[in-house]
């Protein structure tokens, strides 16, 4: 629900939105910084908070989290925007990036620069967003991987 509301709000202001699905936070930073077509990235995450307490993390085009001062300035711009919104062709498009996780995994494998052939690895994904990438990255690097905590249920 939060993703849909956020995407609709951004699109209503005239900006295109690309939904990457469930990704670990570093994936958003990496993908935004690696593609000049992105002006920013947004992560919806409860992170270390209780699951009902989702937060929104904003990343700049450099892949770094926006400083608090930049977030405050953005909030003020939103508050000051009033009712002037684009209509018809001025509204942004929302689309899904079906292979965002695969793109991130490929980046991680390419950046690692080493192989883990013959290495046995156990990873605990803590039922979080890393379930979409961690096992595949380590497997692609040759590791024999056993995963636990890989059944996210939103809690």
Q: Which residues are catalytic?
A: 47
Of 87, 68, 84, the residue nearest 76 (C-alpha): 68
Q: Is 92 exposed, middle or buried (0-12, 13-18, 19+ CB in 10 A)?
A: middle
Sign of CA dihedral 83, 87, 90, 96: positive
Within 8 A by CB and 6+ apart from 40, the residues are 32, 58, 59, 60, 61, 66
């Amino acid at each position: 629900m939060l993703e849909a509301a956020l995407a609709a709000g951004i699109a209503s202001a005239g900006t295109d939105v690309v939904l990457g699905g469930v990704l670990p936070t570093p994936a958003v930073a990496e993908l935004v910084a690696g593609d000049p077509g992105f002006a920013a990235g947004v992560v919806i995450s409860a992170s270390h908070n209780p699951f009902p307490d989702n937060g929104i993390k904003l990343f700049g085009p450099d892949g770094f989290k926006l400083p608090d001062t930049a977030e405050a300035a953005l909030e003020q711009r939103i508050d000051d925007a009033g009712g002037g919104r684009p209509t018809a062709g001025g509204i942004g498009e929302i689309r899904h990036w079906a292979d965002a996780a695969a793109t991130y995994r490929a980046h991680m494998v390419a950046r690692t620069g080493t192989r883990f052939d013959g290495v046995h690895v156990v990873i605990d994904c803590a039922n979080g967003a890393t379930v979409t990438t961690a096992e595949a990255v380590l497997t692609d690097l040759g590791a024999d991987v056993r995963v636990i905590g890989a059944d996210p249920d939103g809690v």
